[in-house]
Amino acid sequence: MMWLPFALHIAAGMVGLLAGTVALLTAKGARLHRVAGTVFFASMLVMAAFADYLAVVVPDQYVNFFIGSFVVYLIATGWITVRRPQRTIGSAEKIALAAVLCLLLPFAALSFELATGLTPPFKSAIPLKGPVLIALYTFTFFIALATIGDLRVVWAGGIAGAQRIGRHLWRMCLALSLAAGSAFTNGLPRLLPQGVHLPLLVLFVPQLAVLALLIFWAVRVRFTGWYSRAAPSTASFRVAARG
């Protein structure tokens, strides 16, 4: 029965990629953006849940369990950020902080072991070197960044304005980028006919495109005054915080 969770994982991931792309490219606060965002949220949770299941039942895939769990964390906290009233927190934010700390500890330990030449205490189906090693260091960096963000939110009792939208933005976009990377750099090469190979840079284009849009929107929201101009203009932008 391994084919069923694998098929559901792929199907949910494809829906998430499509919905996330629509949400990223459409007008923020518009009905299409909100609908696409909701579909993205649900499908990504399903995709990541089955990724975690497969990481447990398939040998030597433990790293994928933590990556899948990080995607669940990103999607959940990104969604909660815009569902929660401004300058307020609840139990969910405190649970998220505890969860990301649990993710940070093994990634930080693994990064330290690999950086110092120590042998990790588990077997991996792929060698932990080259691009994979860079990816692990990058994951550790983003998890540490998310941990700092959660600490600030819990300490301050919530956030508001451009910071709130920025928090929602980078978490959702990073989750979309991770899904794109998994689909195009890991999944797509396995589906190509034998003997057909695409240049590595081509496979990274979708993931890099999402990261580029993430940087664009992060700069626009936080440093150009876009939020302060849009927020008071229409009630639809206030609904955008729910999209």
In tens digits, the chain (243 residues) has pLDDT values of 678 888 999 999 999 999 999 998 888 778 899 899 999 999 999 999 999 998 888 877 777 888 899 999 999 999 999 889 999 999 999 999 999 999 999 889 989 988 898 877 766 667 677 777 888 899 899 999 999 999 999 999 999 988 999 999 999 999 999 999 888 888 777 777 777 777 877 888 999 999 999 999 888 888 887 777 666 543 444 444 444
Residue 214 sits at the vertex; the CA angle it makes with 227 and 104, to the nearest 5 degrees, is 110
pLDDT of residue 125: 63
pTM of the model: 0.86
Q: In a 3-state reduction of DSSP, which class is residue 126?
A: coil
